[in-house]
Structure 1
Amino acid sequence: MGRKLQSRRALRPVDLARAHGLSTQAVRNYEDAGILPAAARSPHGYRAYTPLHASALRAFLALLPGHGHATATAIMRAVNEGAAEEAFRLVDESHAQLRDDRRTLWAVEAALRDLEPVPEPEEGGTFIGPLAQRLGIRPATLRKWEAAGLVSPRRDPVTGYRVYDAAAVRDARLAHQLRRGGYLLEQIAPLLARVRAAGGLAPLEAALTEWHARLSARGRALLAGAAALDAYLRERG
């Protein structure tokens, strides 16, 4: 009996804050943002939280690592407004994004694995004709890839001809491999952006393990968030 009465007692903002290592202002802000359901107020205006609010806070904090602040907030708002279907849609979107990110990683790995050796360009770079011949494609294809942002050759200041340095040749080779794998130009562009951000193929290969780990951590975080959200939904009834 005493335990039941204790579970029903009102909780102060400081009680929720201490239990989760937050400030009392953060708890109030979460309520104002709709992350927590509205709390009852005492005659003097003090907030009175309940175990349901504690469950909502646990759900939000569990959702954060996998969904990010904006989506986690939107999920909790939807639940508290009685729009569970919208919350489920947002959860699905995060899972779909993780799936797409995994496919991106797999595509990069496959492209690197299947990349055939191509002679390095001569010092100063190579021109569009020789590069197209090496790759077995038409020069027009390279120009199309350039327009799509996949390759960025420089222009010879005298002749105006396109000159492909080592980085541009690398991007053309990867684009060729990914196109052979069925990827669209708009899908290839972000993959090549990752290669450039990593500083080339060798650093990218070294980063693949870390990339896998980050995706796995997000997957686990999404599962933990789903469990906490389900517990909160059950308590709401």
Structure 2
Amino acid sequence: MRTADVARASGYSLQQVRDLERLGVIPPAARAGNGYRAYGPMHVVALRAYRALAFAAGPVVARQVLAGVWRQSMPDAAAAIGDVHVRLARQRDEVLQARRALAAIRAEAGSTHSPPPPAAEDRDALSITELAGALDVRTSTLRFWEQEGLVHPDRITSLRARHYAPHAVREARIVAALRRAGYGIPAVRELMGALGHADGLGEADRILQVRLDGIAARSVALLRAGSDLAEVLAAIAGDAAGHDASRPA
């Protein structure tokens, strides 16, 4: 097959086929006597697998996985592909954990029928040391969350000590739950911003649902890549068997 044939069969451009070969995503093409590239059906299979894998795990991971499998044994290559499934499952678990945490906080907020009087709110306030102990985080972590605009304590006394009223305690609890669920600071900031809306917890839950839907779509893409990836693994196993058969007894 010529480069144009592979491009047509895979849906990539001529330059993309050459670039993906250079990056090791597909094995090197043989060279005909005139110096032109000569591809085989396995190159098309590998490109199809890369397309689905790139959607499921991102192009960087897809390049790393496919460039690696051609240099690995079949069991190691299968394990590398299996790791992509594990990574998606872990991301789904993180979203579900965050949703459970937000649901618990929503239920707790719903059980409070009216805001506490100022005196009670002041009595329920925590110092930074007390809140850090309650959340099992460092005081420096709480300061960092404040710097990032995720938590908003009050300042009291001439020493400007941090004073975490119930609203700030609630913010800190949500941030702690999201961080433990594996969310990075940018994602936490997005969710905390949603909480500022009229239906804050509902909006945050909708954001998490969108992420769950995205993970489901990527999981389907990974399943769709399965038959092509199986052919790649079979080719690797066949090459390994061929090398073993060529060794002297």
TM-score range, shorter chain: 0.7 to 0.9
**Count of matched residue positions in the alignment of Structure 1 and Structure 2:** 214
Identity of aligned residues (%): 29
Q: How does 1:80-159 map to 2 (within 5 A)?
A: 80-115=70-105, 116-117=108-109, 130-132=124-126, 138-139=130-131, 141=133, 144=137, 146-149=139-142, 152-154=151-153, 156=155, 158-159=158-159
**AA partner of residue 90 (structure 1):** A
- Indicate conservation of the 8 Å contact 1:132/1:142, yes or no: no
Does structure 1 residue 214 correspond to structure 2 residue 214? yes
Q: Give the whole-Å Cα distance in 2 for the aligned partners of 1:31 and 1:55.
A: 13
Kindly state the Cα deviation for residue 91 of structure 1 after the two structures are TM-superposed: 2.1
- Shifted more, 74-83 versus 141-150: the winner is 141-150
Q: Which residue of 2 aligns with 1:194?
A: 187
Q: Deviations over 1:146-177 (max 9, x none)?
A: 4334663446284412144786333234367x
SS in 2 for 1:190: coil
Once residues 167 and 194 of structure 1 are traced to their aligned partners in structure 2, the CA distance between those partners, rounded to angstroms, is: 21
RMSD: 3.4
Does structure 2 retain, via aligned residues, the 8 Å contact 1:71–1:90? no
Residue 52 in structure 1 maps to residue 42 in structure 2: yes
The alpha-carbon distance between structure 1 residues 67 and 194, as it changes in their structure 2 partners (threshold 3 A), is closer
* Alpha-carbon separation, structure 2, partners of 1:121 and 1:66: 48
Name the structure 1 match of 2:21: 31
- The two structures have a TM-score, normalised by structure 2, of 0.70
Worse overlay, 138-147 or 100-109: 138-147
- Scaled by the length of structure 1, the TM-score of the pair is 0.73
Gapped regions of structure 2 (runs ≥ 5): 196-200, 239-249
Secondary structure of residue in 1 paired with 2:125: helix
Deviations 1:55-74 (A, max 9, x none): 22222222211122222222
The CA distance in 2 between the partners of 1:15 and 1:166, in whole Å, is 66
Q: Does the CA-based 8 Å contact 1:59-1:229 persist in structure 2?
A: yes
- Segments of structure 1 that go 5 or more residues without pairing to the other structure are 1-10, 179-184
**CA gap 1:192/1:31 in 2 versus in 1, 3 angstroms:** closer
Residue range with higher mean Cα deviation, 101-110 or 143-152: 143-152
- Aligned-pair CA distance for 1:47: 0.5
Q: How far apart are 1:141 and its partner, in Å?
A: 1.7
Contact persistence 2:78–2:233 (CA under 8 A): no
Alignment CA distance shift 1:155-1:86 (3 Å): farther
